[in-house]
Structures are given as C-alpha cells and as structure tokens.
C-alpha cells in the first residue's frame, strides 16, 4: 500500500531547507534532527500527509503526535496556555519540553494528528535545522521520533535511514543529536485541577521544570509515565476519541435509524440520503480513509442517530490502525 520512495539524504543548507519545506507543503515526509532525537515530519494541517506518516512508521495505532512550532506565539495558535504553561514555555523553550494543553478553538491541526483528542502536544525544538525548517515551512510540523514502530528513537541520520529508507522523501543529516532522549512531556490541563503532570520523563530534568514552576510536578500513573500514550486517571486525559452514538462494526447492511460510515462501494441495497452517509474513501484508499476517520465520525455523531453502522475495513496497512480506533470507539459505551 505504501509506495516505495527514493529516500534522499541531504546535508543541511539553504537549498535543502527550501526543498524540505516544499516537500512538506506537497504532503511529503521529511526526517530532520531536533536536539532530542530525529523526528519524522509532516504538515500538521494535512490529514493525508499525517496518515502517510503513520503508514511510514508502521504504527498499528494512531498515537497522538507532537506539533512542533517555531515559538510561543505559534504555539498559542494551536493550544490554550494557562499560567503554568506560560511559565514553562518562557523558561524552557526552545528546548526538549513538550506541553500537553487544551486544543485552541479553530486550530488547523488535522484531527488525525491529535487522534481527535481535545488536547494537543506542542513543542518548540532547539536545533538550528529544526528551527530553519519550521521558519521556512511557516506552519506547524507534526513529528514523532523517526523510527519504525517498536524500534528505539533515532539519534543519527543513519538510524533513520536504517528504519525508514524507501518510506519517506528526505532525511536531513544534521549529525548526532545532542540530548539523545525524547522531550519531557508535561500536561497542564483543567482536568487535572491545575496541577501540571509529568507524562514522560525526558530531556529536561524534573528539577528544572519544578524550578520554573515554583512547585512540585504531579506524577502520572506509572503506566502513563512510561510512555505517554497510556490513558491517565479517568477524566483527566481522555485516552482516545469516542463518539456518543453507538457503533456497529463490520456492518454489511444498514438498519432503520442508522447512519453509515462507508469505505469503497457502499453495501449493496443501502440507499440512504447523502447527508446520512460519510465515505472514508470512495476509491478504497486506506490513507485517504485514515485522514477522514475522525472528522467523518464526528460528522455522523452530530446527526443524533441511534447507531453508526461501519462497513468492514480491510485489516492491512493503515486499516489495522483504523480498526484499532474503531474498536476502541465502539467499546467505550
Ligand atoms: O523529543 C521528542 O519529543 C521527539 C522529537 C522528534 O520531538 N518526538 C517524540 O514523538 O518523541 P513521539 O510521537 O515518539 O512521542 C510523543 C508522545 C507519545 O507517547 C504520544 O502518545 C504523546 O507524546 N502525546 C502526544 N499528544 C498527546 C496528548 N494530547 N496527550 C497525551 N499524550 C500525548
Ligand atoms: Mg517515539
């Protein structure tokens, strides 16, 4: 499903940065150095580019991604900063600190990039190549670590090449990264009653964060601290998006009162008014389907139907992650 690409490895420089920004603008994938580890970047506002990024990493699920920005004003367009978040960003950005914050209303970041959560992870990296790329591109760049799913994070361009050659457009080789571990992740959310919570230890030590805050950090449950994609205490941080409407998976027909989430040709005999159907990809393309998944679910959820019938989605390529999300959304009720 993922086309084989001729991955180029390029030395940083004005031409490389301009070229990489153009690749991002065209929906392509660019691996670039940050001060922590190499990131695999895509245009945060382009759902299909984000879907291609998940496909390149071979992720069986859509973990929410960090939106990288040039500076605090750019981050404020994506996320709502409370006083603690302002303090942390002022003291520690640019740098290896990621903040998980309420999503700003009207943010242009693709739903898929945040797994349709109402929170978003943002970070301003401190690396000349990452900063030059963000400046040239002029929009947020989502970037997970540039490794295949299940592998360790890459700290050299060679690591990235070993994992992702043939799956991405370009690797900017900025030499070994300085910090070598991923960014520290801190959540500042109203749901944790204003207590900043350490979600993932990383490049900024806890003491530096507590010094900037002027108080102690709360700890996430052990499972969440190990890897921030685990759910936190119920209600504190939703682990995934769930519609209010019941889902009926692997539907091969449409029953009275149902709306339909289709993929490819709709089920035989299903004739619903157009406004009761959303098709993830009429041409049966799983990348397009992933890009549309959360926005289509939201649109159907808003119709107030009894049930959303979901046709079977092929369990291959990004279909595995789509089915993972659908199963979670269905189980939530
Ligand atoms: O140093 C880093 O953070 C590197 C460089 C490239 O910036 N990036 C990185 O990304 O480590 P990734 O995707 O490998 O790890 C990001 C973590 C994931 O565990 C993800 O679940 C978590 O951040 N995360 C992202 N958005 C979140 C959110 N809204 N709530 C909770 N956790 C979130
Ligand atoms: Mg990672």
CATH code (residue 126): 3.90.870.10
* Statement to judge: residues 47 and 144 lie in one domain: yes
pLDDT (0 to 100) of residue 179? 86
**CA 118 to CA 65: how far, in whole Å?**
13
Dig out the tokens for 107 from the structure.
């943010």
Contact 261, 278 (CB under 8 A): yes
Count of residues making up the chain: 333
Domain hosting 134: range is 8-224
* Statement to judge: residues 172 and 76 lie in one domain: yes
Residue 275 lies in a domain: yes
Beta strands in 166-266 (DSSP E): 170-172, 184-187, 197-200, 218-219, 246-248, 258-262
The model's pLDDT over 218-229, given as tens digits with 9 standing for 90+, comes to 887 654 444 444
Q: Which residue, of 224, 256, 280, is where some domain finishes?
A: 224
The answer to whether residue 178 scores a pLDDT higher than 60 is yes
Residue 1 lies in a domain: no
* Statement to judge: residues 218 and 262 lie in one domain: no
pLDDT, average across residues 84-102: 97
Phi-psi region of 105 (alpha: psi -120 to 50; beta: other; left: phi over 0): beta
Residue closest to 181 by CA, chosen among 164, 214, 203, 150: 203
pLDDT, average across residues 49-68: 92
* Statement to judge: residues 199 and 312 lie in one domain: no
Report the domain count for the chain: 2
Q: Which atom of ligand 1 is nearest to the CA of 229?
A: 21
* Statement to judge: residues 214 and 252 lie in one domain: no
Dig out the tokens for 38 from the structure.
């190499």
For the CA of 117, the nearest ligand: 1
Q: Candidates 39, 112, 121, 191: which one to mutate for ligand 1, based on the most atoms within 8 Å of Cβ?
A: 121
* Statement to judge: residues 128 and 88 lie in one domain: yes
**CA 226 to CA 314: how far, in whole Å?**
32
Tell me the pLDDT of the chain averaged across its residues: 90
Name the residue at shortest CA distance from atom 7 of ligand 1. 39
Residue 218 CA to ligand 2 center (angstroms) comes to 23
* Statement to judge: residues 88 and 214 lie in one domain: yes
pLDDT over 70 for what percent of the chain? Answer: 92
Pairing type for strands 97-102 and 141-142 reads unpaired
Cα(first)–Cα(last) distance of the chain, in Å? 33
Residue 211 CA to ligand 2 center (angstroms) comes to 27
Residue 233 lies in a domain: no
* Statement to judge: residues 217 and 325 lie in one domain: no
pLDDT (0 to 100) of residue 2? 58
Pairing type for strands 66-68 and 38-43 reads unpaired
Residue 238 lies in a domain: no
Residue 165 CA to ligand 2 center (angstroms) comes to 17
Name the residue at shortest CA distance from atom 21 of ligand 1. 229
Residue closest to 309 by CA, chosen among 291, 318, 296: 296
Tell how far CA 220 is from the center of its chain. Answer: 20
Q: Candidates 160, 185, 192: which one to mutate for ligand 1, based on the most atoms within 8 Å of Cβ?
A: 185
The answer to whether residue 34 scores a pLDDT higher than 70 is yes
* Statement to judge: residues 168 and 262 lie in one domain: no
The answer to whether residue 168 scores a pLDDT higher than 80 is yes
Residue 51 CA to ligand 2 center (angstroms) comes to 16
pLDDT (0 to 100) of residue 222? 55
Residue 169 lies in a domain: yes
pLDDT (0 to 100) of residue 232? 42
Protein residues whose CB sits closer than 6 Å to any atom of ligand 1: 34, 36-37, 39, 63-66, 96, 98, 100, 114, 117, 119-121, 123, 125, 143-145, 182-183, 185, 199, 227-229, 237
CATH number at residue 303: 3.40.50.11030
Name the residue at shortest CA distance from atom 29 of ligand 1. 120
| For residue 11, cis peptide bond before it (omega within 30 degrees of 0) | no
Dig out the tokens for 89 from the structure.
């960003």
Question: Of the given ranges (47-56, 101-110, 189-198), which has the lowest mean pLDDT?
Answer: 189-198
Residue 234 lies in a domain: no
Contact 125, 131 (CB under 8 A): yes
Residues ≥6 apart with Cβ < 8 Å to 132 = 12, 17
Angle at 51 between CA 45 and CA 53, to 5 degrees: 95
The answer to whether residue 290 scores a pLDDT higher than 90 is no
**CA 99 to CA 199: how far, in whole Å?**
10
**CA 85 to CA 90: how far, in whole Å?**
8
* Statement to judge: residues 271 and 157 lie in one domain: no
* Statement to judge: residues 314 and 180 lie in one domain: no
* Statement to judge: residues 250 and 179 lie in one domain: no
Q: Which residue, of 224, 254, 274, is where some domain finishes?
A: 224
User: Which secondary-structure segment (H or E) carries 212?
Assistant: helix 206-213
């Amino acid at each position: 499903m993922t086309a084989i690409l001729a991955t180029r490895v390029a030395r940083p420089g004005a031409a490389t940065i301009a070229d990489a920004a153009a690749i991002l603008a065209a929906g392509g994938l660019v691996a670039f150095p940050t001060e922590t580890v190499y990131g695999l970047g895509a245009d945060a506002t382009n759902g299909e580019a984000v879907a291609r990024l998940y496909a390149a990493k071979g992720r069986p699920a859509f973990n929410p991604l960090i939106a990288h920005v040039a500076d605090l004003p750019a981050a404020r367009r994506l996320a709502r900063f409370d006083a603690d978040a302002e303090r942390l960003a002022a003291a520690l950005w640019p740098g290896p600190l990621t903040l998980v914050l309420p999503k700003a209303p009207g943010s242009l970041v693709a739903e898929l990039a945040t797994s349709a959560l109402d929170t978003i992870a943002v970070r301003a990296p401190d690396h000349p190549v990452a900063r030059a790329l963000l400046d040239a591109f002029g929009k947020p760049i989502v970037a997970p670590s540039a490794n295949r799913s299940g592998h360790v994070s890459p700290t050299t361009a060679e690591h990235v090449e070993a994992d992702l050659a043939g799956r991405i457009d370009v690797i900017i080789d900025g030499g070994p990264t300085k910090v070598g571990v991923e960014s520290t992740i801190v959540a500042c959310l109203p749901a944790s009653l204003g207590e900043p919570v350490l979600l993932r230890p990383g490049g900024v030590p806890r003491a530096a964060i507590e010094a900037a805050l002027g108080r102690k950090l709360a700890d996430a449950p052990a499972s969440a601290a190990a890897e921030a994609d685990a759910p936190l205490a119920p209600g504190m941080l939703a682990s995934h998006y769930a519609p209010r409407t019941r889902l009926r998976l692997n539907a091969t027909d449409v029953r009275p009162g149902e709306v339909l989430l289709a993929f490819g040709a709709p089920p035989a005999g299903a004739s619903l008014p157009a406004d009761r159907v959303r098709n993830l990809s009429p041409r049966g393309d799983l990348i397009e389907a992933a890009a549309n998944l959360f926005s289509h679910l939201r649109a159907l959820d808003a119709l107030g139907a009894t049930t959303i019938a979901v046709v079977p989605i092929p369990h291959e390529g990004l279909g595995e992650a789509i089915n993972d999300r659908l199963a979670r959304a269905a189980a939530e009720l």
